[in-house]
Amino acid sequence: MTAQTHRDQIRARLAAAAPAINPSILGCDYAQLGQEIADMEQAGAKVLHLDVMDGHFVPNFTFGMTIVEAARRATELPLDVHLMMEQPGRYIRQFREAGADVITVHEEVCRDQSELADLVAQIRELDALAGIAINPPTPLERIDKVAGNCDLILCMSVMPGFGGQEFDHVALEKLAALRDRPDVTAFLEVDGGVNVETIADCTAAGANMLVVGSAISGSDNYRQRIVELERLIK
Ligand SMILES: O=C(CO)[C@H](O)[C@H](O)COP(=O)(O)O
């Protein structure tokens, strides 16, 4: 029997958890990062979303591989690392070595779909799940050749860069179109403005990985909020 790869194991964990609430650490207290991550895990998170922002592709900075590596030491939960950055290919190996299990790159930083496909292959060679992300204005045609051959597709429901923005419904049309494509087996993820008002529409449209930032990190009780969100989607 062939041994399971790390990708196989992570895919199986995500499939077992789906539809999964995927808390983003963007709004956490970074002076207490280990505790924040432990709190999210105890609250029921099955996967954690880490937002890497470079100040070029998005008008904000967050963190790089050092924090990914610290998160890796703080938890065994799958780490879903969203690279909001130019030239992600230069850093993919370092993020993988820091402990990223899922690595997502943006279509908008690629010349064409062949470059996007190369990044997917590069991520998979490192035994991580490969995700591709599109911003609200980016049409699905821009990923039509790669959508059937990647592990996760992230439909942004805000322009990336900041938490606490309003949900853009354009993501729902894209999710539904992807869900209906027989060749697409990727996890379908949505990120931005996902909260108690919008989450049920996301799963109804086909999302099975639901990134939630401020609706969890801004609440007084992470567990209560995750349970509340889960009730709306299961
Ligand atoms: O990528 C992001 C913003 O660009 C983040 O995942 C962000 O944490 C989402 O936050 P919120 O749920 O508050 O919209």
Mutation pick for ligand 1 pocket among 106, 165, 210 (CB with most ligand atoms within 8 Å)? 165
- pLDDT in the model for residue 150: 98
Instruction: Check pLDDT > 90 for residue 1.
Output: no
Q: How close is the Cα of 25 to the center of ligand 1, in Å?
A: 9
- Tens-digit pLDDT profile for residues 105-160: 999 999 999 999 999 999 999 999 999 999 999 999 999 999 999 999 999 999 99
Q: How close is the Cα of 216 to the center of ligand 1, in Å?
A: 11
Alpha carbon distance 193, 222 (integer Å): 17
- Tokens, residue 174: 């894209």
Ligand 1: residue whose CA is nearest its atom 5: 163
- Tens-digit pLDDT profile for residues 71-81: 999 999 999 99
- Tens-digit pLDDT profile for residues 59-71: 999 999 999 999 9
- Tens-digit pLDDT profile for residues 81-93: 999 999 999 999 9
Q: Is 228 helix (H, G, I), strand (E, B) or coil?
A: helix
Q: Is 162 annotated as a binding residue?
A: yes
Domain positions in the chain = 6-233
Instruction: Check pLDDT > 90 for residue 52.
Output: yes
Instruction: Check pLDDT > 90 for residue 192.
Output: yes
Mutation pick for ligand 1 pocket among 214, 217, 226 (CB with most ligand atoms within 8 Å)? 214
Count Cβ atoms within 10 A of the Cβ of residue 158 and give its class: 0-12 exposed, 13-18 middle, 19 or more buried.
buried
- Closest atom of ligand 1 to 158 CA is 4
Q: How close is the Cα of 49 to the center of ligand 1, in Å?
A: 9
**So which residues are the catalytic ones?**
51, 191
Q: Is 82 annotated as a binding residue?
A: yes
Query: ipTM score of the complex?
Result: 0.98
- Tens-digit pLDDT profile for residues 194-211: 999 999 999 999 999 999
- pLDDT in the model for residue 79: 98
Q: Is 91 helix (H, G, I), strand (E, B) or coil?
A: coil
- Closest atom of ligand 1 to 192 CA is 14
- Ligand 1: residues whose CB is within 6 Å? 24, 26, 49, 51, 82, 158, 160-165, 191-194, 211-215
Alpha carbon distance 93, 112 (integer Å): 21
Query: Please, which pLDDT band fits residue 234 given cuts at 50, 70 and 90?
Result: confident
Q: Is 161 annotated as a binding residue?
A: yes
Ligand 1: residue whose CA is nearest its atom 7: 163
Instruction: Look over the chain and give the mean of its residue pLDDT values, rounded to a whole number.
Output: 97
* One-letter amino acid of 78: P
Instruction: Check pLDDT > 90 for residue 50.
Output: yes
Q: What mean pLDDT comes out for the span 167-183? A: 98
- Residues linked to residue 51 through DSSP beta bridges, in sequence order: 82
6-233: CATH topology is TIM Barrel (3.20.20)
Note the pTM of the prediction, 2 decimals: 0.98
Q: How close is the Cα of 58 to the center of ligand 1, in Å?
A: 12
